[in-house]
Structure 1
Amino acid sequence: MADESAESAEPLLAGLRVVETSRSVAGAYAGRILADCGAEVILREPEGGHPLRARGPLFAFLSAGKRPSPGDVDADVLIREWDDLPGPAPAGPVTVDISPWGSAGPWPGQGRPWTDFTLQAECGSLRLRGVPDSYPLMAGGRPAEWVAGALAATAALAGVRGGGTARADIPLLGVNAYVTNLFVDALSTLTGASREPVVMRRRLSPSVEPTADGWVGFNLASAQQLQDFMILIERPDLLEDQELSTHAGRYAREKEWTAAVHAWTTRHTTAEILERAALFRIPASPVLSGATILRDPHVVARGFYVDDATGTFKHPAVPFLFDGRRPRAAPAEPGGSEPRPRPGKAGGLPLAGLRVLDLGTWWAGSFTATLLASLGADVIKIESTRRIDGARVLGGDPSAEQWWERGYFFLGINHNKRAITLDLTQPEGLDVLKTMIAGADVLLENFAPRVMENLGLDWDGVRALNPSIVMLRMPAFGLTGPLRDRVGYAQTVEQYSGLCWVTGYPDGPPVNPSGPADPMGGANAAAALLAALHRRAATGQGMLVEAPLAEAALTMAAEQVIEATATGVVPGRAGNHAPGFAPQGVYRCEGAESWLAISVATDAQWAALRAITGLPRWHEDASLATYDGRKAQEDLLDRELQDWASTRRAGQTAEELLRAGVPAAVAADPRFIHDHPQLGWMFEEVGHPVAGKIRLPVVPFAYDGVASWSVLPPPTLGRDNREVLSEVAGLSPAEIDDLIARGICGTHP
């Protein structure tokens, strides 16, 4: 493999012109991805300047490689970000609109005030985070904005591939719901959950735990890993305790279980624990901050943090590689304003005609493939009856008939795919896959690197079968570096990247922010893959795309490193407080699990809140008229707001505040978010042969001409064996019968 620190020979998106009018991280990151891949990106700042300029170095990072607008220029892609209703799409270029609500539903055009915090409350994820005896917690770092940016870049490149005239509509509320709700809405539909309010704030256990010198994070994704963990902490006696083998049992006996875990972790250093966990292949990570990540040997070996152009701070490098090299942006030099030649719009979906072999598992890999399938690609999901996708077992009832078809996570992330099974440990199964690779456009996988290499299907092996294929590899930590063989999931890389470090109560441990690293990794990888396919269309040559899950998470946590190296201040945990907002919090109202979120960003919003509460002290203390004065008293303001809210109805109060121009929201129940008036579009009724009729979340944005995202329901195991093995692999009915008889393919695990 080539030296990953070297620059690629030619930008992948050379000749593509993008005009970006962003207001937040979402639009700015979309433009940054396209610039990194070689597009000419022209930044058109809103009147009064870009709001991110107030965040200094973060703006410098996100605007690198772009050039200021010289006036009206013609473009291939428009990225536009709005405070409310997206404007009309111009005829011609691909247009991607980012806004809080999108352009459909009852809320656009109402001037409804909002912040990232109120979106987190409105979408339901706030109630999933924290501990039962305290208030719900926000996810630190505004994760949905980063995912929205990656989705915007993906939609833009899909539109370019589809003919150059299309519009995508990306609502931040919908992205928030998809990114951090963990598909509990699908689970509630499957189980017929009661509408009675319940406390859903539970920490994974084990998760982030104290060590002799810091914190370590665990993520157990299987029963085997839990059993190995009990051996790791020197408690083999717990193996016989059936109650502790379940999440519910560990919650019920939380004090006893946590004491057993901490009795061992606090006797060992983080490094000792990681070394021992690696022997068991238990996913584990140090819990790092914006300062400590810079010294991590793996990111140092991969050269992931680099100096900005002025040398005043460090920031992440591009979080994906092409043929082993990180891409280089096109020079931010003035270009012409001549009209852009555009092909006529192709019929159908933009990725129609693209064949993708999907070896992805869990959320990140499966989400990438689902994005491609929803945009028209023929995606063939490949599992083994010996090794089914782990998402199938999450939440399924092991006592139910065909339990592996009822996993709510699997159902939520595998729309629009055909599905086969092949035992790749058998030569005959591997030969069938190789035949399919020879005729495919894309091969996608997110295993640990050793898995494909042991099959002889590393990049050299795949390229020998098909020189024009694009291979997307999404290992947790990348293909090089000291952690290349470590297993990792979303929680693992959230712990590693710093996302946990800024999520949690001010006096409490770091907290996992509920999974945004997976959809960030999936969307990031999809954008990189489409950039590679754009290049292949010009050259006919295949390419290896490496999109590590950890580097996507590190990019989402970029502001921590940027701030730490620019100012020496390392951001930490502040509950629901955040720079630029005061007061900001969630307050218990009348009724069970009834919470009101309030987020004040301006002096005018403060004046409106003060008038509604009528609290005398707020009128008497002149210092509260300014942000600095409120920030200095935000803990006291929280206590006063809690006293005021405790006798009020959350819904009525939120509406009163919104009418006065104060960002507010009821913290929604994520189990029933499919009933939300502004989110119903994101859930489609699917007829599944085992789960029955169920409303499932689909791709969290709208795309020109797509009335319904769900064309094929999530596939049952091996549903399309005969069709695909005949049509794609060229096997005869007798050959397929033989594979089934020998257990090389099948429909039961």
Structure 2
Amino acid sequence: MSAGAPLAGLRVVEMSRTLAGAYAGKLFADCGARVTLIEPPGGHPLRNGSKALFSFLSSHKRTAGEDSAEELVGQADILIRELDEPGDGPAAPVTVEISPWGRGGPWSGQGRPWTDFTLQAESGSLRLRGLPDSYPLMAGGRPAEWVAGALAASGALAAVTGAGAARLDVALLDVHTYVTNLFVDAGAALREEAREPAVMRHRLSPSVEPVSDGWVGFNLASAQNLQDFMVLVERPDLLEDEELSTHYGRYRRAGEWNEIVQSWTRRHSLRDVLERTALFRIPSSPVHNGATVVQDEHMVERGFFITEGTGTPRPDVPFLIDGGRPRPDEAAAASQPRRPRTRTGTGTDRPLTGLRVLDLGTWWAGSFAATLLGSLGADVLKVESTRRVDGARLLQGDPRRESWWERGPFFLGANHNKRSITLDLTDPEGLELLERLIADADVLLENFAPRVLDNLGLDWPRVHALNSTLVMLRMPAFGLTGPLRDRVGYAQTVEQYAGLCWVTGYPDGPPTNPNGPADPMGGANAVFALLAALRRRAETGQGLLVEAPLVEAALTMAAEQVLEAGATGRVIGRDGNRSPGVAPQGAYPCSGTECWVAISVVTDEHWAALRDLVDVPRWREDPALETYAGRKAQEDELDRELAEWTRDRDAAELVSALLARGVPAAELTDPRFVHEHPQLAARGLFEEIEHPVAGRVVLPVVPYRHSGIDRWSVLPPPTLGQHNHEVLEKELALPPRRLRELAARGVIGTRPDHL
């Protein structure tokens, strides 16, 4: 079943250079927009890398040469342009610029060399991944570039929806910092953490663990999950061990804890473990790679991998609209006249003003999707229950502090620009009040397991009956159909399933979670799908159901693995900090505690500059090192020699010397204080907010800039039920007496019931 082409009539010009811009263009093309890719002389850079990946990203696009750029851009609604440095050039009504550093800040316009690896170092995330007794570890698969593409596309579509001219400035460094840092900066500030150097790399446990026939992935998202897990591994005695009930306690006793977990998992098969965890509702997953995931029965039943006549499996569009995936209509796109743009509000620089959103989202993916909408002007009403608060409120909170559930860095970082009410939806009156809100909303957003709303009677037919013009966005981990439909899953779960873990890790070590990029990827993809559905609604006046499974966004990020396995039979695996086409590349120790430098040698010119700086005689004497192939063959030796040379040198001075010679290099930023990074601070990725409980705190906001929007955070993250009276009394006209009765019965409230 196809959802048609909801963006037919839009004209997009893409001038991409990396997969970020290419993926942004692909989202538009998949939904029926007329997308023209303007390639530079010699062709798109991705053509010379993975041809299968380029084919995937350029499907349903037209191509043209640079001599056509000015004319095509003049006819376009949207221009997506990637540059090493932002600059002047042709512009469309909505112009998206993707660059490493963005416009503004001390590093913009300086020609500073970079790679995905050095951006991971600058962002702070490199110091969060790996083992404490080994080197910092990069996230494989370039996750931030995928998220940057999804953000660029959703931001551009929002701007077109608002019917105004706009320039979007997407800096890859900003996206890297938001996507994989897990709000460590906010957490350190809330804890008033000292500035002493610290090793922050720990293996989250349990995560990816060995079973008798492969690997299984776990994600313990709650205290209940942990308690059930201890029973699962036949150690109920550990329920009395307070230290092992915390992440930090398990880090301190890692050897003991890992042996407890793995002595149990090794005795069981993957199927056995998955069946047992399902009974406990513990989030778990097979750990797939590019060859195995296409054969998973869930993916087969959902038909997510398609061949399109090529014989090589590739991911389909990662969302459904009214039960079908969008399909471009090539003939219609060629002759389709440009349609008048729709808008949801007037007289504002925020394009979604006037849109009313009910946010039932939890954790990061659902909350981030709603925060994007709220930041772009929508009126977002977050609905929780005092019986079941958003789990992000409780993550990394300190129970010794007053109102500690209002201080969780994950919740604060992912919930700007919302109001909050509480309703116990298991109570008939609470459910009735939500239904009244649904009747007056434009969007209902949720990311529970499907059974949650279904059990409440709020499936799509019921919601559509309440409001025939509402668009419902459902974001379950594994989708609304298939054998895994009712499995609970989070970012770590779908990263394990999709293959993102398979390409992250030490060469001789287990698959490793890349620190959560699947959540913002899922949120940004879902917002794009929602905006496409709203555009269709503007034409027909009818509401639609949008299904945007978290796992399918993650599988899109892992597309190269599937494409490579299908085309060549090669399974891309883990290789530490090494990347194809780059040698040497790594994080090397410098003088001082936890001082590291990231270096990427991409070209022979980079090698010559590094060789002239580093005093290793053999490098000058071995002609094989003058070529990439020769360096690649000697990576182990080069890494050892380079680490020995950097060990006693100052990281800042070394980076300065390398950059002056044109070699991509970076110090590894401490993620606890990344808001002080000179480029990030200048661009305003972090904004100071005044929170009713947490006080003044610096938090990350939407990781791109939008012309005319000087500050993203208009409303601070709300406290639980903060707007109960404002919404229920003033908007639903409930008398004060009824509010008191609802509060007395626990239907509404401002404090979690179980705390």
Shorter chain as normaliser: what TM range? over 0.9
1:163 aligns with: 163
Residue of 719, 722, 725 corresponding to 2:725: 722
Specify every segment of 5 or more residues in structure 1 that has no aligned partner in the other structure, as ranges: 1-5
**Equivalent runs, 1:381-530 vs 2, <5 Å:** 381-530=382-531
1:551 aligns with: 552
1:106-156 CA distances to partner (integer Å, 9 max, x unpaired)?
A: 111100000000000000000000000000000000000000000011111
The alignment yields a C-alpha RMSD, in angstroms, of 1.5
Specify every segment of 5 or more residues in structure 2 that has no aligned partner in the other structure, as ranges: none
Q: Report the 3-state secondary structure (helix = DSSP H, G, I; strand = E; otherwise coil) of the residue aligned with 2:687.
A: strand
Shift of 1:405: 0.5
**Equivalent runs, 1:301-450 vs 2, <5 Å:** 301-311=301-311, 313-331=312-330, 335=334, 346-348=346-348, 349-450=350-451
The verdict on how the C-alpha distance between 1:374 and 1:594 changes in structure 2, with shifts beyond 3 A counting, is same
Q: Report the 3-state secondary structure (helix = DSSP H, G, I; strand = E; otherwise coil) of the residue aligned with 2:330.
A: coil
**Equivalent runs, 1:572-721 vs 2, <5 Å:** 572-680=573-681, 681-721=684-724
User: Alignment identity in percent?
Assistant: 67
Which letter does structure 1 place at the counterpart of 2:713?
S
1:475-521 CA distances to partner (integer Å, 9 max, x unpaired)?
A: 00000000000000000000000000000000000000000010010
Q: Report the 3-state secondary structure (helix = DSSP H, G, I; strand = E; otherwise coil) of the residue aligned with 1:479.
A: coil
Distance 2:488 2:387 in 1: 19
Q: Report the 3-state secondary structure (helix = DSSP H, G, I; strand = E; otherwise coil) of the residue aligned with 1:534.
A: helix
2:31 aligns with: 37
Shift of 1:537: 1.1
Large movers: runs of 4+ above 6 Å: 336-345
Distance 2:431 2:336 in 1: 52
Which letter does structure 1 place at the counterpart of 2:676?
D
Shift of 1:69: 2.5
Shift of 1:242: 1.4
The verdict on how the C-alpha distance between 1:263 and 1:337 changes in structure 2, with shifts beyond 3 A counting, is closer
1:76 aligns with: 77
2:533 aligns with: 532
Q: Report the 3-state secondary structure (helix = DSSP H, G, I; strand = E; otherwise coil) of the residue aligned with 2:353.
A: coil
Distance 1:260 1:93 in 2: 59
Contact 2:34 2:333 in 1 (8 A): no
1:61 equivalent in alignment to 2:60: no
2:45 aligns with: 51
The verdict on how the C-alpha distance between 1:615 and 1:191 changes in structure 2, with shifts beyond 3 A counting, is same
Shift of 1:165: 1.1
2:743 aligns with: 740
Shift of 1:606: 1.1
Which letter does structure 2 place at the counterpart of 1:468?
T
The verdict on how the C-alpha distance between 1:484 and 1:339 changes in structure 2, with shifts beyond 3 A counting, is closer
Distance 2:577 2:21 in 1: 24
Shift of 1:86: 4.0
Contact 2:502 2:512 in 1 (8 A): yes
1:81-106 CA distances to partner (integer Å, 9 max, x unpaired)?
A: 1112243573x511111100110211
2:199 aligns with: 199
Contact 1:67 1:334 in 2 (8 A): no
Q: Report the 3-state secondary structure (helix = DSSP H, G, I; strand = E; otherwise coil) of the residue aligned with 1:678.
A: helix
The verdict on how the C-alpha distance between 1:189 and 1:86 changes in structure 2, with shifts beyond 3 A counting, is farther
Shift of 1:237: 1.3
Q: Report the 3-state secondary structure (helix = DSSP H, G, I; strand = E; otherwise coil) of the residue aligned with 2:328.
A: coil
Q: Report the 3-state secondary structure (helix = DSSP H, G, I; strand = E; otherwise coil) of the residue aligned with 1:44.
A: strand
The verdict on how the C-alpha distance between 1:402 and 1:343 changes in structure 2, with shifts beyond 3 A counting, is closer
Distance 2:333 2:661 in 1: 45
Which letter does structure 1 place at the counterpart of 2:174?
G
1:37-86 CA distances to partner (integer Å, 9 max, x unpaired)?
A: 11111111123310010121100000001011372221011111111224
Distance 1:142 1:218 in 2: 23
Once the two structures are overlaid, the 10-residue window that deviates more, 464-473 or 634-643, is: 634-643
Which letter does structure 2 place at the counterpart of 1:113?
P
Contact 1:75 1:340 in 2 (8 A): no
Contact 2:161 2:341 in 1 (8 A): no
Distance 2:546 2:333 in 1: 30
Distance 1:465 1:93 in 2: 37
2:240 aligns with: 240
Shift of 1:612: 1.1
Distance 2:672 2:354 in 1: 37
Q: Report the 3-state secondary structure (helix = DSSP H, G, I; strand = E; otherwise coil) of the residue aligned with 2:285.
A: strand
**Equivalent runs, 1:558-569 vs 2, <5 Å:** 558-569=559-570
Shift of 1:339: 8.4
1:114 aligns with: 114
2:2 aligns with: 7
Distance 1:37 1:234 in 2: 50
Q: Report the 3-state secondary structure (helix = DSSP H, G, I; strand = E; otherwise coil) of the residue aligned with 1:641.
A: helix
Which letter does structure 2 place at the counterpart of 1:696?
L
Which letter does structure 2 place at the counterpart of 1:427?
P
Which letter does structure 2 place at the counterpart of 1:47?
P
1:25 equivalent in alignment to 2:29: no
The verdict on how the C-alpha distance between 1:527 and 1:341 changes in structure 2, with shifts beyond 3 A counting, is closer
Shift of 1:436: 0.4
Q: TM-score, normalised by structure 1?
A: 0.97
1:698-725 CA distances to partner (integer Å, 9 max, x unpaired)?
A: 0000001001011010000000011111
Once the two structures are overlaid, the 10-residue window that deviates more, 413-422 or 334-343, is: 334-343
Distance 1:342 1:377 in 2: 18
Distance 2:328 2:309 in 1: 13
2:126 aligns with: 126
Shift of 1:249: 1.3
Contact 1:494 1:553 in 2 (8 A): yes
Shift of 1:684: 0.6
Which letter does structure 2 place at the counterpart of 1:454?
N
Q: Report the 3-state secondary structure (helix = DSSP H, G, I; strand = E; otherwise coil) of the residue aligned with 1:216.
A: strand
Distance 1:270 1:250 in 2: 24
The verdict on how the C-alpha distance between 1:347 and 1:46 changes in structure 2, with shifts beyond 3 A counting, is farther
Contact 1:66 1:332 in 2 (8 A): no
Shift of 1:655: 1.0
Report how many aligned residue pairs link the two structures: 741
The verdict on how the C-alpha distance between 1:382 and 1:89 changes in structure 2, with shifts beyond 3 A counting, is farther
Shift of 1:210: 0.5
1:3 aligns with: none
Contact 2:319 2:325 in 1 (8 A): yes
The verdict on how the C-alpha distance between 1:400 and 1:342 changes in structure 2, with shifts beyond 3 A counting, is closer
1:237-293 CA distances to partner (integer Å, 9 max, x unpaired)?
A: 111111111111111111111111111100000110000000000000011111111
Q: Report the 3-state secondary structure (helix = DSSP H, G, I; strand = E; otherwise coil) of the residue aligned with 2:599.
A: strand
Contact 1:355 1:442 in 2 (8 A): yes
Contact 2:318 2:549 in 1 (8 A): yes
Distance 1:337 1:67 in 2: 15
Q: TM-score, normalised by structure 2?
A: 0.96
2:209 aligns with: 209
Distance 2:475 2:199 in 1: 35
Distance 1:557 1:700 in 2: 22
Shift of 1:623: 1.3
Distance 1:372 1:163 in 2: 16
Distance 2:336 2:442 in 1: 34
Distance 1:266 1:339 in 2: 60
Which letter does structure 2 place at the counterpart of 1:102?
G
Which letter does structure 2 place at the counterpart of 1:292?
T
